[in-house]
């Protein structure tokens, strides 16, 4: 058994783990990341595309913003289309200056990986059998298999950044956590292609045939999504099928503008709302998808992971630099407040824009739910007050101080 030592053991090299590691290292706090899969595998996962200003600022604070600031697109507005009628939401004007940045999670992850390597900070990729020990004691540790050898990592604290299917959350005794979950009766089929996007701004569309989203990564790379039944397999959808269905769901002028081409990636993701409370136990802190999942409708998943990182980074900085251990107990409470705002927003926007078939929800049948949502769409897209609420939450609520 090889023994290693660090101040903060980070489980998972997704955006949450990598960003936390970079921020802590800048404050002189040592950390080591354990990742189950290879770096290439992490970079092969196509996920989020929209960064709130809070996340962008955190990336700048970590000193990793050069490419994001050069290549990321500033989006001052976003569009919603209901049954073909387009509505522009002026994010900048309605929020007094806030915007979002369109920059792929894959690119951000790559920048963070490169910065970590350049700084000589250790990430153990393909670390198997990661197990957490003594998390309720003052000397926790993590054991894992790496390069054919068993390792034990002794640390002061553990950051569980290992996503929804990770091991960290399961290490908290079941009777010490409460989990809230809603699984939606549909998924999103995503398609990435090197074709010029159909629109300068993102367009979230509610149509008779279900939800569609026209998104982008750059002037030459498009990202589209379609609401699909949970029973669909991605193999059943040819590229031509996806393009044809997008044409049916997007507003006519957008559909006419759409350039089709071969997909670079195509996958189906289920939609889920999930929160684990509290987000800490002993010396373990849960961060990002390890603690909570949102449906992608509000583009909040990655952004909530970032606000958790911000909170934990501030807590640990105070612990190590000011010996303020009292603030540790505040992590979960501060993080969860913002998490629940993001959860509610993503659930609400999903309700407004998807077709729930016969299912209904919230204790009302499908027909009545649809009428309620007609009223929501009318208020939040067609009144100044409604648009302001939508815009304020889309760009992201301010970070809470610890
Ligand atoms: P991640 O990115 O899942 O990273 C967790 C990392 O932990 C590793 N891991 C382990 N490592 C060691 N030992 C173990 N036992 C481990 N188990 C897991 C994993 O290999 C992985 O590398 O979580 P993180 O860092 O919290 O980041 C969160 C974001 O990735 C996530 O919120 C968003 O991508 C969610 N999401 C989207 N959010 C958006 O805002 N907009 C989107 O368009 C969007 N699309 C998506 C998404 C999530 C998806 N998932 C989870 C399937 C599309 C998909 C398909
Ligand atoms: C994306 O471009 O992948 C994207 C953008 C906005 C969302 C979800 C996904 O709400």
DSSP string, 163-174: -TT-STGGGS-G
Mean pLDDT value across residues 239-267 = 97
Q: What is the pLDDT of residues 230-248, one digit of tens each?
A: 999 999 999 999 999 999 9
- 337 catalytic? Reply is no
Reduced DSSP (H G I as helix, E B as strand, rest coil) percent helix, strand, coil of the chain, to 5: 40, 30, 30
Q: Which residues, including other chains, have CB under 8 Å from residue 326's CB and lie 6 or more apart?
A: none
Collapse the DSSP code of 292 into the 3-class scheme (helix H, G, I; strand E, B; otherwise coil) and give the result.
Answer: strand
- 204 catalytic? Reply is yes
Confidence label for 365 from pLDDT (cuts 50, 70 and 90) = confident
186 and 296 in contact (C-beta within 8 Å)? no
pLDDT at position 362 over 70: no
CA separation for the pair 130, 121 (Å, rounded): 19
- Give me the residue spans of the domains in the chain: 2-75+99-180+272-358
CA separation for the pair 345, 337 (Å, rounded): 13
Catalytic, out of 266, 292, 300, 310: 300
CA separation for the pair 29, 26 (Å, rounded): 7
299 and 49 in contact (C-beta within 8 Å)? yes
pTM of the model: 0.97
- 266 catalytic? Reply is no
- 225 catalytic? Reply is no
Confidence label for 364 from pLDDT (cuts 50, 70 and 90) = confident
Substitution site in 52, 200, 202, 268 for ligand 2 pocket (most atoms within 8 Å of beta carbon): 202
Beta strand segments in 255-386, E: 263-277, 280-281, 284-286, 292-293
Please state the length of the chain: 402
Buried/exposed 32-49: b ≥16 CB within 10 Å, e otherwise: bbbbbeebeebeeebbbb
Substitution site in 192, 296, 390 for ligand 2 pocket (most atoms within 8 Å of beta carbon): 296
Q: What is the pLDDT of residues 181-222, one digit of tens each?
A: 999 999 999 999 999 999 999 999 999 999 999 999 999 999
Cα(9) to centroid(ligand 1), Å: 18
Mean pLDDT value across residues 365-393 = 93
Q: What is the pLDDT of residues 290-325, one digit of tens each?
A: 999 999 999 999 999 999 999 999 999 999 999 999
CA separation for the pair 238, 384 (Å, rounded): 41
State the DSSP string of 209-266. TEEEEEEEEETTEEEEEEEEETT--GGG--HHHHHHHHHHHS-HHHHHHPPP--EEEE
Ligand 2 site, residue 299, Cβ cutoff 6 A = yes
**Which atom from ligand 2 is nearest to the alpha carbon of 223?**
2
Tell me the CATH number for domain 2-75+99-180+272-358.
3.50.50.60
């Amino acid at each position: 058994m090889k023994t290693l030592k660090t101040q903060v053991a980070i489980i998972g090299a997704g955006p949450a783990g990598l960003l936390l590691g970079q921020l802590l290292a800048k404050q002189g706090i040592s950390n080591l990341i354990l990742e189950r899969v290879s770096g290439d595998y992490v970079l092969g996962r196509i996920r989020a595309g929209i960064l709130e200003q809070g996340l962008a600022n955190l990336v700048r604070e970590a000193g990793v913003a050069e490419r994001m600031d050069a290549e990321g697109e500033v989006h001052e507005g976003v569009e919603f289309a209901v049954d073909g009628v387009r509505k522009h939401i002026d994010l900048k004007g309605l929020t007094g200056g806030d915007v979002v940045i369109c920059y792929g999670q894959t690119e951000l992850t790559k920048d963070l990986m490169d910065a970590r390597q350049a700084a000589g900070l250790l990430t153990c990729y393909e670390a198997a059998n990661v197990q957490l020990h003594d998390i309720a004691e003052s000397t926790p540790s993590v054991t894992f298999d790496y390069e054919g050898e068993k390792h034990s990592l002794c640390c002061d604290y553990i950051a569980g950044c290992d996503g929804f299917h990770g091991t960290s959350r399961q290490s908290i005794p079941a009777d010490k956590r409460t989990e809230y979950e809603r699984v939606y009766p549909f998924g999103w089929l995503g398609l990435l292609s090197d074709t010029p996007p159909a629109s300068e701004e993102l367009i979230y569309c509610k149509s008779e045939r279900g939800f569609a989203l026209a998104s982008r990564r750059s002037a030459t790379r498009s990202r589209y999504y379609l609401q699909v039944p949970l029973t669909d397999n991605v193999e059943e959808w040819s590229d031509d099928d996806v393009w044809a269905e997008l044409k049916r769901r997007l507003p006519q002028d957008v559909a006419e503008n759409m350039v089709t081409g071969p997909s670079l990636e195509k996958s189906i993701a289920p939609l889920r709302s999930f929160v684990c409370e509290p987000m800490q136990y002993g010396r373990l802190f849960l961060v990002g998808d390890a603690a909570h999942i949102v449906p992608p409708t509000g583009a909040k998943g990655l952004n909530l992971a970032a606000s958790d990182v911000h909170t934990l980074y501030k807590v640990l900085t105070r612990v190590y630099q000011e010996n303020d251990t009292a603030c540790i107990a505040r992590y979960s409470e501060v993080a969860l407040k913002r998490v629940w705002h993001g959860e509610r927003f993503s659930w609400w926007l999903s309700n407004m824009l998807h077709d729930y078939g016969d299912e209904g929800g919230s204790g009302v049948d499908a027909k009545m739910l649809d009428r309620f949502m007609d009223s929501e769409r009318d208020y939040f897209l067609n009144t100044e007050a409604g648009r302001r609420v939508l815009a304020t939450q889309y760009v992201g609520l301010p970070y809470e101080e610890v």
